[in-house]
A and B are shown apart, each in its own frame.
Chain A
Amino acid sequence: MDFKQDQIFEEILDYSNKINSSVLTITRCLLLTFNIYFRDGLQYRELKTALNISDGKLASNLNFLVKMGYINKKDIKFDNKKLHIYNITHKGKEELKKILNWMDSIKKLLEEVNIE
């Protein structure tokens, strides 16, 4: 007998327990994604333009991710200006990986079913 489907269900539920659900918002997932992609680091103003959200929303989400240890914040001097640069941490990478694995499992499960 094939217990593959059961295995996928178990994977999904297992990942659901491991993921930090507070990270699972569009803004926070995008912040982690961009910070992984742009290994060099990202400026606050670049993130603001890309996400097109208010300063308040961006700042609170960045502060959350910094507090949780998923990204770190550095002060640098750039063209004689003081800027904040954000970089991903190992913990941040691991958290996004969990989310991606979870989504992969959901995709695997729904491949059996026509969701349209």
Chain B
Amino acid sequence: MSEDINIIISALKYWNIDLKRPDRDYSSRFKIQKLAYLCKSMGMSLNYKFTLYLNGPYSTSLTQDYYQAPKLIENLETDYKFDEKDLNILDKISEYVLNHPITLEYESEFLEAVATVRYLKNKYSDMLDDEIFAKTKEIKQHLKDSIIVLAINTVKKLLFKPEFLTEEARKEMDIWDKAED
């Protein structure tokens, strides 16, 4: 069992997520996989390797870990402490993903869409939204268009940096901001 599972358990604890034993509950397993991927893709030090096919993003070694320690996950047993950088990542995922109103009805679908879009943006860094949308639709045909659109917007929120607001971006916005009516 890798040390990384402690990090995942800590994240679940930080977010206050109540999960059933992953060895017995499909939904639990599904959520852990997608959230673990988001944590790693946002910069947390996790060694799990993920694939996007079928159920992805999915990691076989993560699966091994939670099948070996299902009770630890159910009881959120961990002594791992996050640094500020990681807390920042967890807070963003909490704000933009876990607490999004769409999760009341479409939690798993939204989680899958966000993780998938994030994966594609990582793999194809030059792809624009319309291409990401088409690619997501191709790989995950069961995802609703509206959820994919929302996921793309959500990933932008997760990845946004103040440096994006360049002089040129400012000028574009000023065209409308400074216009009179």
A–B proximity contact (CB within 8 A): yes
A residues near B, CB below 8 A?
34, 37-43, 45-50, 74, 76, 78-80, 85
Q: How large is the interface on B (under 10, 10 to 19, 20 to 34, 35 or more residues)?
A: 20 to 34
- For the complex, is B139 an interface residue (Cβ under 8 Å from A)? yes
Q: A78: which B residues are within 8 A, CB to CB?
A: 26-27, 30, 108
Residues of B within 8 Å of A48, CB to CB, are: 141
Alpha-carbon separation in the docked complex, A34 to B54 (Å):
9
A39: chain B residues at CB < 8 Å are 60, 63, 67
Q: Given A45-B141, A45-B142, A49-B141 in contact, is the A40-B105 Cβ separation under 8 Å?
A: no
- A43-B55, A78-B27, A79-B109 known; 8 other A-B pairs, CB under 8 Å? A39-B63, A39-B67, A40-B55, A40-B63, A43-B142, A45-B141, A78-B30, A79-B106
Q: A42-B54, A42-B55 are in contact. Are A37 and B60 (CB under 8 A)?
A: yes
Q: Are B58 and A40 in contact (CB under 8 A)?
A: yes
Chain B interface helix/strand/loop/mixed:
helix
B177 CB → nearest A CB, Å? 40
Q: Give residues of chain B (42-74) contacting chain A, Cβ–Cβ below 8 Å.
A: 53-55, 58, 60, 63, 67
- Min CB distance A74 to B, Å, is 8
Output the nearest chain B residue to A39 by Cβ-Cβ distance.
B63
> B33 an interface residue at 8 Å Cβ cutoff?
yes
Smallest Cβ distance from A34 to chain B, in angstroms?
Answer: 6
